[in-house]
């Protein structure tokens, strides 16, 4: 039964057991709680505050999607938002922000530019890294709004830096967006200046020719021919300008992509697909065929069924629009699968634009080819005119072409300027950052709460961990679960009180060891009452057999067996019985010290024949209590205790005294106790609360049972009553010994009985 006590205890653990464990570890929990809480408070109070300021930015669709010459480049809005998020986090933007902060009037108040304790300032790269780490960018769900949050050591600094980041991002975005349209505007301005000179020159040449040749006008047929040729040549000129502008935009995009990705292919055909190339070829063919029909419809008066031509042109328009959509879809697929996705290295939107522009360029080339064919036909017809009329017609045609082209370029220049201004508004700051009122770190209330929770949790954890590794017996309930008979539970002796009594009695020498005689020094104490309870339980044990010789032992050393033997002997003597206490611990005897006597002329001296029987027995401070000390320590204690001489000594003492109490060595350490247990009427096994190991106790029990020691039961010694919350022993102890209306006084100096 005792051998399986671990399983029994484990299967019978209850809530009360957990409460008892927590109560025993209350000081550990309290200390852990206090230490962690104080550490948390110190950390919180010494931590520099951190403030967060937030600004909101609206990202609008890229203006280049509404290109000047109808370049409907597609861009996925989710990709756009992701790109702008990465740009906000980029090193390039952070560098711009640091440079601007360095030039600001408040730079000296910013922590980034303050020297550290060693007087050293952060390097430019370190400041950039600090800014990137202190900045967070997030996207509000299902919106095109980005939120930029900046953390800093002051409210002003966090708000100021957040606003600078937003403003620099807005400027950087405007510069990027303006790049393509600015190049286009410059191209149109250049072409317009050239065309203005050409128009003036053609007008002047026509005027001079009229004055020189006295030609006022052309006949109606020639005028009609010249007008048609001028219209076609104007269309051809516009197509060439459109082609050139597309080439300029493509050149600008390629330049930006080359800056972001060194490995950009020289020819977009390298990243094209056969399907994309087929779409581009079809688009170029359809645009060329449509141009022929449109030119004929506008310039050929011989066409009678214009409705049929208009229907054909409409069909061409529908096919061209469908091809453009397919072309844009395919370009988007290629840019998302064939290119890297890092928006700071290669923009998918730019790739989309480049692939779409490539198709537009091929279509414009086909349109120019078709228009050039028509122009050549009209030129051939003009060659049949007389020389004088032909020269006038050519000059008039050149003037009309230059005039129409100039008007077209003037209109496009205004449109370009409007678009360029609109491009700068691609990014809008919705809510500028304002100075926060309270810091986000440290969160004092939360830190204190977490510190309290962690402190309690740590204390509870340590308590249960110690309990898990603690294999000692602590309470009477544990002994009962192990199957032992409990003779009594002895509370821990409060040495402080006993020492005060000794001082009043004038005894100072060795008072701590003499203070163990609690039943004599403080007979009304709970400890003395517990020994009297032991005496009573032993008296009831006499019903089954006479108990004239009792052996007191323990599993290991310093578990209170000598104190138990001495106080038991005193309690028996106080009851009127004639008692002799024998110190049979022939290895480390202490009984003589407890009584303040010398060990000379003791048991071993008598057994060796050095003294008489009467000289071996010494008187004590009680009339009915006598003492037999150990005497000189022999080299062979076990053989001496197992001898016939020892049996004779015990027989004589039994005849002369009502009770013989023997203090013996520990059971596990040596065999002395096991040998003596066979010569006595009963054995008491002392168990030290919180000290005796369960395995050691089980081993001691096995040893005593194997020699038929007549084990009467166990005595739980040195019980810490204050640590036994939930135990019935605690309940009855406090309710009986505590005075009404007063709390039991707790002492710090305790000594194990």
Under a CB-based contact definition with an 8 Å cutoff, are residues 710 and 488 in contact?
Answer: no
Domains of the chain, by residue range, sit at 2-47+442-467, 53-169, 178-423, 486-737
pLDDT at residue 26 greater than cutoff 50: yes
Work out whether the CA dihedral 472, 475, 476, 477 comes out positive or negative: negative
Beta strands 427-431 and 51-59, pairing class? antiparallel
**Residue 131 confidence (pLDDT):** 92
Q: What is the pTM of this model?
A: 0.53
Poorest-confidence range of 176-180, 208-212, 236-240, 356-360?
176-180
How large is the C-alpha radius of gyration of the chain?
Answer: 55
Q: Which of helix, strand or coil describes residue 573?
A: helix
Distance CA(350)–CA(267), nearest Å, equals 15
Distance CA(314)–CA(624), nearest Å, equals 136
pLDDT at residue 84 greater than cutoff 70: yes
Backbone angles phi, psi at 91, to 5 degrees: -70, -35
Work out whether the CA dihedral 309, 315, 317, 319 comes out positive or negative: negative
**Residue 339 confidence (pLDDT):** 44
HEC string for 140-188: CCCCCEEEEEEEECCHHHHHHHHHHHHHHHHHHHHHHHHHHHHHHHHHH
**Residue 55 confidence (pLDDT):** 95
Under a CB-based contact definition with an 8 Å cutoff, are residues 290 and 316 in contact?
Answer: yes
**Residue 372 confidence (pLDDT):** 73
Q: Half-sphere exposure of residue 577, counting CA atoms within 13 Å on the CB side?
A: 20
Is the pLDDT higher at 398 or at 22? 22
- Categorize the per-residue pLDDT at 306 as very low, low, confident or very high, splitting at 50, 70 and 90: low
Q: Give residue 680's region: left, alpha or beta (phi > 0; psi -120 to 50).
A: beta
The pLDDT of 106-114, averaged and rounded, is 85
CATH of 486-737, one of 3.90.1150.10, 3.40.720.10, 3.90.45.10, 3.40.50.300: 3.40.50.300
Backbone angles phi, psi at 685, to 5 degrees: -100, 115
- Categorize the per-residue pLDDT at 83 as very low, low, confident or very high, splitting at 50, 70 and 90: confident
Distance CA(510)–CA(230), nearest Å, equals 134
The string of pLDDT tens digits covering residues 329-379 is 666 666 555 444 444 334 555 666 666 667 677 777 777 777 777 767 667
**Residue 734 confidence (pLDDT):** 46
**Greatest CA separation for the chain:** 175
Under a CB-based contact definition with an 8 Å cutoff, are residues 246 and 361 in contact?
Answer: yes
Q: Supply the DSSP string of 200-249, one letter for each residue.
A: HHHHHHHHHHHHHHT-----HHHHHHHHHHHHHHHHHHHHHHHHHHHHHH
Q: Supply the DSSP string of 419-476, one letter for each residue.
A: HHHHHTTSEEEEE-----SS-SBS-HHHHHHHHHHHHHHHHHHHHHHHHHH--B--SH
**Residue 657 confidence (pLDDT):** 94
**Residue 515 confidence (pLDDT):** 66
Average pLDDT of every residue of the chain? 77
H/E run at residue 566: helix 561-574
Poorest-confidence range of 133-137, 251-255, 364-368, 579-583?
251-255
**Residue 509 confidence (pLDDT):** 45
**Residue 96 confidence (pLDDT):** 92
Is the pLDDT higher at 649 or at 541? 649
Q: Which of helix, strand or coil describes residue 60?
A: coil
């Amino acid at each position: 039964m005792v051998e399986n006590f671990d399983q029994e205890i484990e299967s019978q653990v209850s809530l009360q057991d957990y409460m008892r464990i927590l109560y025993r570890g209350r000081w550990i929990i309290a200390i852990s709680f206090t230490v962690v809480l104080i550490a948390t408070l110190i950390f919180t109070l010494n931590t520099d505050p951190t403030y967060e300021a937030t600004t909101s930015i609206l990202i609008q669709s890229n203006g280049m999607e509404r290109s000047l010459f109808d370049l409907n480049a597609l861009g996925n809005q989710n990709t756009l938002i992701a790109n702008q998020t990465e740009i906000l986090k980029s090193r390039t933007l952070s560098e711009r922000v640091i440079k601007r902060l360095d030039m600001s009037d408040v730079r000296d108040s910013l922590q980034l530019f303050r020297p550290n304790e060693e007087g050293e300032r952060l390097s430019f790269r370190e400041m950039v890294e600090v800014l990137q780490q202190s900045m967070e960018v997030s996207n509000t769900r299902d919106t095109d709004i980005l939120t930029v949050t900046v953390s800093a050591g002051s409210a002003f600094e966090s708000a100021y830096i957040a606003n600078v980041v937003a403003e620099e991002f807005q400027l950087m975005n405007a510069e990027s967006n303006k790049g393509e349209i600015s190049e286009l505007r410059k191209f149109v301005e250049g072409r317009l200046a050239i065309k203005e000179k050409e128009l003036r020159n053609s007008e002047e040449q026509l005027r001079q020719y009229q004055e020189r040749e006295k030609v006022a006008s052309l006949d109606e047929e020639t005028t009609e021919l010249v007008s048609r040729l001028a219209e076609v040549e104007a269309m051809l000129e516009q197509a060439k300008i459109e082609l050139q502008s597309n080439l300029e935009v493509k050149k600008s995009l390629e330049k930006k992509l080359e800056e972001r990705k060194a490995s950009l292919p020289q020819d977009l055909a390298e990243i094209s697909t056969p399907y994309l190339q087929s779409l581009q070829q079809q688009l170029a063919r359809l645009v060329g065929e449509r141009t022929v029909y449109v030119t004929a419809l506008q310039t050929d008066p011989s066409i009678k069924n214009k409705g049929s031509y208009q229907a054909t042109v409409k069909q061409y328009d529908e096919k061209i629009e469908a091809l453009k959509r397919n072309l844009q879809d395919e370009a988007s697929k290629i840019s998302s699968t064939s290119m890297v996705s890092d928006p700071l290295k290669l923009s998918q939107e730019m790739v989309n634009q480049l692939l779409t522009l490539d198709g537009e360029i091929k279509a414009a080339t086909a349109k120019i080819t078709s228009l050039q064919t028509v122009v050549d036909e009209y030129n051939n017809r003009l060659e049949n005119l007389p020389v004088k009329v032909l020269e006038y017609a050519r000059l008039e045609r050149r003037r009309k072409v230059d005039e129409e082209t100039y008007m077209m370029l003037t209109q496009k220049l205004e449109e370009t300027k409007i678009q360029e201004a609109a491009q700068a508004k691609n990014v809008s700051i919705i809510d500028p950052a304002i100075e926060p009122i309270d810091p986000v770190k440290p969160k004092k209330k939360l830190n204190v709460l977490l510190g309290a929770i962690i402190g309690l949790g740590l204390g509870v954890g340590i308590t249960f961990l110690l309990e898990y590794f603690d294999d000692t017996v602590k309470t009477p309930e544990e002994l009962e679960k192990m199957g032992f008979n409990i003779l009594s539970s002895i509370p821990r002796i409060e040495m402080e009180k006993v020492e005060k009594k000794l001082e009043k009695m004038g005894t100072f020498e060795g008072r701590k060891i003499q203070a163990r005689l609690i039943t004599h020094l403080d007979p009304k104490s709970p400890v003395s009452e517990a020994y009297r309870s032991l005496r009573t339980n032993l008296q009831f044990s006499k019903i089954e057999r006479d108990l004239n010789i009792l052996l007191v032992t323990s599993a290991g050393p310093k578990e209170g067996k000598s104190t138990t033997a001495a106080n038991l002997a005193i309690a028996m003597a106080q009851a009127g019985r004639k008692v002799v206490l024998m110190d049979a611990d022939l290895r480390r005897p202490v009984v003589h010290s407890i009584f303040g006597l010398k060990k000379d002329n003791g048991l071993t001296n008598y057994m060796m024949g050095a003294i008489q029987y009467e000289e071996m027995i010494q008187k004590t401070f009680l009339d009915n209590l006598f003492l037999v000390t150990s005497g000189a320590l022999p080299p062979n204690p076990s053989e001496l205790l197992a001898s016939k001489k020892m049996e004779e000594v015990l027989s004589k003492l039994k005849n002369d005294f009502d009770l013989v109490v023997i203090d013996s060595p520990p059971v596990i350490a040596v065999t002395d106790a096991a040998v003596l247990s066979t010569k006595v009427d009963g054995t008491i096994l002392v168990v030290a609360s919180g000290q005796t190991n369960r395995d050691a106790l089980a081993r001691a029990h096995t040893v005593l049972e194997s020699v038929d020691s007549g084990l009467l039961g166990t005595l739980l010694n040195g019980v810490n009553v204050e640590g036994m919350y939930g135990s019935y022993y605690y309940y009855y102890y406090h309710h009986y010994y505590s005075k009404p209306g007063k709390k039991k006084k707790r002492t710090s100096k305790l000594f194990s009985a």
